[in-house]
Amino acid sequence: MDTQQIKQRFGIIGTSPVLDRAIDIAAQVAITDLSVLITGESGVGKEVMPQIIHQLSARKHNKYIAVNCGAIPEGTIDSELFGHEKGAFTGAHDSRKGYFEVADGGTIFLDEVAELPVQTQVRLLRVLETGEFIKVGSSKVLKTDVRIVTATNVNIPQAIKNGKFREDLFYRLNTVPIQLPALRERKEDIHLLFRKFAADFANKYKMPAVKLANEAIDLLENYRWKGNIRQLKNVAEQVSVIESSRDVSVETLSKYLPEDNNQNLPTVYQGGENADLSERDILYKVLFDLKGDVTELKNIVVGLMQQNGGEIADITNNPALMQSVQRLYEKKEQQPIEEPQVYKPQILPKEEQIIRHEEVVEESLSLADKEKEMITKALQKYSGKRKKAAEELGISERTLYRKIKEYDINN
């Protein structure tokens, strides 16, 4: 079966050479039992590749099980994957088969494999090396014959450096790597995908399909699409349902595209490679913005004191300082404020002003301290409800639980 036939069978849209290469590798490796690691950003369609591998293999008549490792709580994931015996833990009223036992002779797809706890990684490594596993609460060794395909959007080499992923497991999973390109790297496919989604939604909602003007197509193809195909499909559905006109102009389309300022969050370099900051993006942004604001305020205050012999002067007579204050004000106005707090200025003697200024400069900017502080505040805000706190911080509930244990936070 050639690449074009595979695309038709699995509903893959696109003519990008990078995409064709990924499909070709999947087809070639399907006839073997080699482990495959699929990498790529969230929303690029990684879940299609293991289906291709399974359906083109000799295992196609046996079980295919897809498991989202990030969606299973840490305390139960071993039971889900390997099964458990009756009485193995509280609530285990009966023995249960795990996915590796159920899928014997078939294929298991482990999505978000980098989210697996380290102890589970050890169990998975044993399955890969010997085909053996032990149920939770049992001492009996069981055998299984499964093909393991994994996927992740995490930089695993960096996760290895951070102690979050086992290096030996990575090399066993990464026997054959398949890299799926981001949508912005497949510009020639973006309009094709949009038309396909628009036609699907037109059929679903019994209405004519929307059509994009040439300028709108240019906007579509040059947008960065951080959510990749998933985001493009969402936009196509919104435009199809909300707009009464079937001809979509660039002005109309732009209303459905979040502003793309191409600004990336701060990146830490260690050994020349980007660190995996997916769990701390919000905290980094807050810290670096705060540091910049403090520096700018310091310059304004120092300028005022120098002009007026150490006393705070009226800045209305200084256009340059007025412009600096206005710029800082406008910057903060553009940022959402969840819990505004009233600040009551305290007038201090000149000597104490200088002392306070030095204290600001010496304030700890440790990322770990700030992260612990943000987590504590989020838990207090939602009265210890971890799900709400995790949503507030922009991290998974399991990651929050791990951070609570790491920082020994009482909630």
- pLDDT, residue 386, reads 83
Please say if the pLDDT value at position 356 is more than 50.
no
Bridge partner list, 17: none
- Whether residue 231 sits in one domain with residue 293: no
Residue 372 lies in a domain: yes
What is the predicted pLDDT for the residue at 343? 43
Q: Rounded distance, CA 224 to CA 258, Å?
A: 10
What is the model's pLDDT at position 407? 79
The pTM of this model reads 0.62
Query: Running DSSP on this structure, what letter comes out for residue 265?
Result: P
In a domain, 272, yes or no: no
Q: What is the pLDDT of residues 254-306, one digit of tens each?
A: 999 987 655 444 444 444 444 444 444 566 556 666 766 666 666 666 666 56
Closest residue by Cα to residue 157 from 75, 51, 271: 271
Of 179, 206, 224, the one marking the end of a domain is 179
Residues 13 and 81 in one domain: yes
Query: What are 372-382's pLDDT values in tens digits?
Result: 888 888 888 88
Work out the average pLDDT over 395-405: 80
Say whether pLDDT at 360 is over 60. no
Same domain? For 14 and 60 the reply is yes
Q: Which two tokens stand for residue 279?
A: 């769990």
Domain count, the chain: 4
Instruction: Find the largest Cα–Cα distance for the chain.
Output: 86
206 with 105, same domain? no
Q: Can you give the pLDDT at residue 91? A: 80
Residue 274 lies in a domain: no
Residues 111 and 242 reside in one and the same domain: no
Half-sphere exposure of 178 (CA within 13 A, CB side): 30
**Whole-angstrom distance, CA of residue 145 vs CA of residue 322:** 72
pLDDT tens digits, residue range 156-211? Answer: 999 999 999 999 999 999 999 999 999 999 999 999 999 999 999 999 999 999 99
Within this chain, do residues 159 and 25 fall inside the same structural domain, yes or no?
Answer: yes
- When comparing pLDDT for 353 and 199, which is higher? 199
CATH number at residue 22: 3.40.50.300
Give the tens place of pLDDT for each residue, 69-122.
Answer: 999 998 899 999 999 998 878 888 888 999 999 999 999 999 999 999 999 999
Q: CB neighbours of 295 closer than 8 A, spacing ≥ 6? A: none
The beta strands (E) that lie in 98-154 are given as 107-111, 132-134, 141-143, 147-152
State which residues form the domain around 49: 3-179
The CATH number that applies at residue 243 is: 1.10.8.60
Residue 20 domain-assigned? Answer: yes
Beta bridge partners of 148: 108
CA distances from 375 to 74, 140, 381, 391, 398 (A): 19, 42, 10, 11, 13
Tokens of 245: 């006109």
Distance CA 181, CA 225 (A): 12
Q: How far lies 186's CA from each of 7, 74, 151, 236, 264, in Å?
A: 16, 36, 20, 17, 21
